[in-house]
Structure 1
Amino acid sequence: MTAEHTAAQGFSTRAIHAGQDPEAVTGAVVVPIYQTSTYAQDEVGVTRAGYDYSRAGNPTRTALETALASVEGGTAAVAFASGMAAGDTALRSMLKPGDHVIIPNDAYGGTFRLIDKICVPWGIEYTTVPLGDLEAVSAALRPTTKLIWVETPSNPLLGIADIAALAGLAHGAGAKLLVDNTFATPYLQLPLALGADVVLHSTTKYVGGHSDVIGGALVTSDDSLAEDFAFHAKSMGGIAGPFDAWLTLRGLKTLAVRMDRHCDNTEAIVELLLSHRGVVEVFYPGLPSNPGHEVAVRQMRRFGGMVSFRVAGGAAAAAQVCKSTELFTLAESLGGVESLIELPGVMTHASVAGSMLEVPDDLIRLSVGIEDVADLVADLRTALDAV
């Protein structure tokens, strides 16, 4: 199925079919797991399908990369062993010692750790900025700024950044814009269409969708960046294995229907949180009171399956809520079919403790799953009522 043919088709059609024609030999409808490290050559340097060694390329991974590029509206994608491997490749490909990067002041803890602990000793400089404040972003730009790194919605405060406006600022300064689209997914938001140069995913989350695989991806329509990403992936080796690629591809096929259910359930959970006496603040871009709501309305289809909130009683009460739920499992990560609850300050964002990115110690983050919503509401209400 050609790119020209799939470009006019709907999201789910492309997620299910792009790069996934029936297998040539047997007609298998599902892309096989090509669990091989190497490939026979008919003669020296002559391969049968362009594959010689699976670190450089694997048909299962190719199918996933083709599908991801299609649903993001890009021309190329590279699949990695984790979201962090994708992020590391992006930074190594797009920056060199002496360069400067702007990152969100509420970035994911792993992203901050990678930049602060790994990239800074390598010679990279960074500035944390509230990306919803375009004047602050403009003021932070330097002659050496080569990249603006965006999360929207951000993790864990669900902040919203104006992708099109930030793309304009970045390109005007000779820099690139990378958008971590993990929370929104390509079903809800298309950063490349809004001017971003690169989209990053932890495909572990919503794209995989079943909490059974770790993965990451970079997607772009810039041929030079695509070549750099592929070269770095081959050279550093942090690529997605065939079984992981197969699991991620299977998850992608149902992304649209799952995201609609995630969004429906989250809206009901937000209603509960807004009405409960024990909740003092709710972070969710679908609320008109959210500072980024108008931008979210413009650039997102819906507002996603994540919500964070603070409770009366402080950190101890928040920890008690997390311990008291039954359907919401106390665990890190997000985006699976099951609902998860966590305290970011001591779990996913422990690496930013004591930094300018530190999150409130009474902040609870929910990844709302696709269970029956009445059961989720009852479970969370019972936990909130107990503190």
Structure 2
Amino acid sequence: MKFATKAVHAGVAPDPSTGAIMTPIFQTSTYVQEGPAQHKGYAYARGANPTRNSLQKSIAALENGKFALCFSSGMGATDAVVKLLKPGDEVITSNDLYGGTYRMFTKIYEKFGIKFHFIDLTNSANIQPLVNANTKLLWVETPTNPLMNIVDIKACAVIAKKHDILLAVDNTFASPYLQSPLELGADIVMHSVTKYLGGHSDVIMGALVVNDEKIHQELAFIHNSCGAVPGPQDSFLVLRGIKTLHLRMERHCINGKKVAEFLKAHPKVGRVYWPGFPDHPNHAIAKSQMRDFGGMLSFTLKDDSIEKAHTLMKSVELFALAESLGGVESLINHPASMTHASIPKEERLKSGLVDSLMRLSIGVEDAEDLISDLEQALNKV
């Protein structure tokens, strides 16, 4: 089944009681049982809900995986993966990482005796020197947030398999439309479903997808025991959003390319971070493991002034100054003070995340209007 067909049909079947073409919102906390411990797969909604189950089947199909679990947020999903570890275990991850993930790793789990190594993963050769008997997880973002660095998933998978290390890939920026980490060797795929999968800026949710039944069982136990589960209303909204994922991603990619090219040619713009440029580091890897280059990009001004960056962000009219990404509307974001504020400045600067960097989530509006908005804002700096 092709991706577009899966987006419309996977996980969804007409309701047997009414014939409703969309999975109903099963707004219930508990289920009547035929006898003690005799039920039809549903006993208490923290453990399972029919609306959520349909969504999990859909997301698993989109990622070409066997099992999916949905969580109350992307951080809830990430938290479940780290709970597979124990004190003394070590994690290798990127030095260009979403601020919320960095905060969880350093402020929550380091206190429980888990050690994290933040390194440049754009060169997979940097991994091997840090691998030891305690290394249990390799956590990868690609493209990274916010510098759009590309990590070679296949190369990471080879190292992970050699040393029996779990490889988890945050596939939020690419979405399953653009990238299939399980097929490249990943053990776990994580999504902030809030972003492209939901696509309409009205849901907070996360998801994990795996092929291995043992890993699924361990994560399902954490899922049920710790209870970071989404409600049926949110599950319904994401099921609805997924039906247009392929259409939205096509437009995100088209618009992203046009905006990136405009910014790169503008005399007031310094660097533009977008993996579709031939001179982007690891562009060849992006081209091989992604089906297109997406609608996320970051840029700096040639006059690297945080004041001028602030002026630009206050001057845009169509772009909304907001956190998050992946919705139908275009957003502009200042990572240093917003999404990545929890990362110490010296650590941010080491990875290239300067104070004036701005991140764009390109929506599905008319590209000419988006470019005109950026142009008028740039004229004011």
Smaller-chain TM-score bracket? over 0.9
SS in 1 for 2:21: coil
| 1:386 counterpart = 2:380 | yes
Match of 2:81 among 68, 90, 93: 90
CA distance in 1, matches of 2:348, 2:11: 40
Alignment of 1:118-267 (within 5 A): 118-267=108-257
The Cα of 1:235 is off from its aligned counterpart by 0.5
Match of 2:318 among 319, 327, 332: 327
8 A contact 2:74–2:206 mirrored in 1? yes
CA distance in 2, matches of 1:145, 1:249: 37
The Cα of 1:355 is off from its aligned counterpart by 4.8
Cross-structure match for 2:33? 41
> 1:14 corresponds to which letter in structure 2?
K
User: How many residues are aligned here?
Assistant: 377
CA distance in 2, matches of 1:353, 1:116: 11
TM superposition score normalised by structure 1: 0.96
8 A contact 2:332–2:359 mirrored in 1? yes
| 1:53 counterpart = 2:44 | yes
8 A contact 1:272–1:381 mirrored in 2? no
The Cα of 1:18 is off from its aligned counterpart by 1.6
| Cα deviation digits, residues 165-203 of structure 1 (max 9, x gap) | 000011111201000000000000000000000000000
Cross-structure match for 1:16? 8
Alignment of 1:58-97 (within 5 A): 58-93=49-84, 95-97=85-87
| 1:366 counterpart = 2:360 | yes
Match of 1:348 among 307, 316, 339: 339
8 A contact 1:345–1:353 mirrored in 2? no
CA distance in 2, matches of 1:14, 1:123: 42
Cross-structure match for 2:268? 278
| Cα deviation digits, residues 207-241 of structure 1 (max 9, x gap) | 00000000000000011111111110110010111
8 A contact 2:160–2:167 mirrored in 1? yes
| Cα deviation digits, residues 297-338 of structure 1 (max 9, x gap) | 000000011010010232111111111100000000000000
> 2:282 corresponds to which letter in structure 1?
G
> 2:154 corresponds to which letter in structure 1?
A
> 1:153 corresponds to which letter in structure 2?
P
Match of 2:307 among 311, 316, 319: 316
Higher mean C-alpha displacement, 334-343 vs 165-174: 165-174
SS in 1 for 2:116: strand
CA distance in 2, matches of 1:230, 1:120: 24
CA distance in 1, matches of 2:248, 2:341: 29
The Cα of 1:160 is off from its aligned counterpart by 0.2
Cα RMSD after superposing both structures: 0.8
SS in 2 for 1:321: helix
Gaps of at least 5 residues in structure 2 are none
CA distance in 1, matches of 2:253, 2:213: 34
SS in 2 for 1:46: coil
| 1:303 counterpart = 2:293 | yes
CA distance in 2, matches of 1:173, 1:19: 35
Alignment of 1:98-109 (within 5 A): 98-109=88-99
The Cα of 1:353 is off from its aligned counterpart by 2.6
| Cα deviation digits, residues 150-172 of structure 1 (max 9, x gap) | 00000000000000000001111
> 2:290 corresponds to which letter in structure 1?
M
8 A contact 2:271–2:302 mirrored in 1? no
SS in 1 for 2:118: strand
Match of 1:30 among 19, 22, 26: 22
Gaps of at least 5 residues in structure 1 are 1-8
CA distance in 1, matches of 2:331, 2:320: 5
> 2:44 corresponds to which letter in structure 1?
Y
8 A contact 2:80–2:223 mirrored in 1? yes
CA distance in 2, matches of 1:312, 1:362: 10
CA distance in 1, matches of 2:49, 2:202: 21
CA distance in 1, matches of 2:146, 2:92: 18
CA distance in 2, matches of 1:46, 1:24: 21
